[in-house]
Amino acid sequence: MNHDKYSIKTIDSEMLYKGKILNLRKDIIETESNKKAVREIVEHKPPVAIVPIDDNKNVLLVRQYRHPAKQYLLEVPAGLIEDGEKPDIAAMRELREKIWLFFKKPLGLLGGFWPSPGFTDEYMYCYFGTDLKENRLPADKDENIEVESTPINRINKLFKILARLLMQKP
């Protein structure tokens, strides 16, 4: 198998929808085996996620309603990077909007990942930090967020359980 990104060719691309935070595009591609295929792609503004750890070694999480899931979800604070904004600056802004705190020390970059690469170009940057200080920014008007703290050792246990589940064969 040829893993050269140039071996996949885009034959045609059509913008189906343009929205505030995402666009929907249909591409016709030519695969490595010279077959044509249709790909529906969600173009999404890049987001940041932040893992804030307080002085008591708790991870601060946010509970908020997510309409696509039709339920309240517990998540790390996250949000979109604004046009022209650097990811680390967006992370600081989002943290101030979501939980009214910011880091006195620079953020550490955990890395980044493609949450759903089968249909979206979204790439999420993940940061962590300690040494928090209160510094409020107005929340987004359409968000109603509750902040919850969870001991970091509980999070570590959850990651270990998740890792075991992900390694299981179906």
Measure the CA–CA gap between 95 and 105, rounded to whole angstroms: 14
What average pLDDT does this structure show over 131-146? 72
Helix (H) or strand (E) run with residue 156 in it: helix 152-167
- pLDDT, tens only, 45-69: 999 999 998 889 898 999 999 999 9
**Residue-range domains of the chain with CATH:** 5-43 (no CATH), 45-167 (3.90.79.10)
Q: How far apart are CA 129 and CA 165, in angstroms?
A: 28
Distance CA 19, CA 88 (A): 25
Q: Are 52 and 60 in contact (CB under 8 A)?
A: yes
The model's confidence at residue 16, banded by pLDDT at 50, 70 and 90, is very high
Radius of gyration (C-alpha) of the chain in whole angstroms: 19
Rounded to two decimals, the pTM is 0.80
- Indicate the range of 74-78, 87-91, 104-108 predicted with least confidence: 104-108
Mean pLDDT taken over the chain: 86
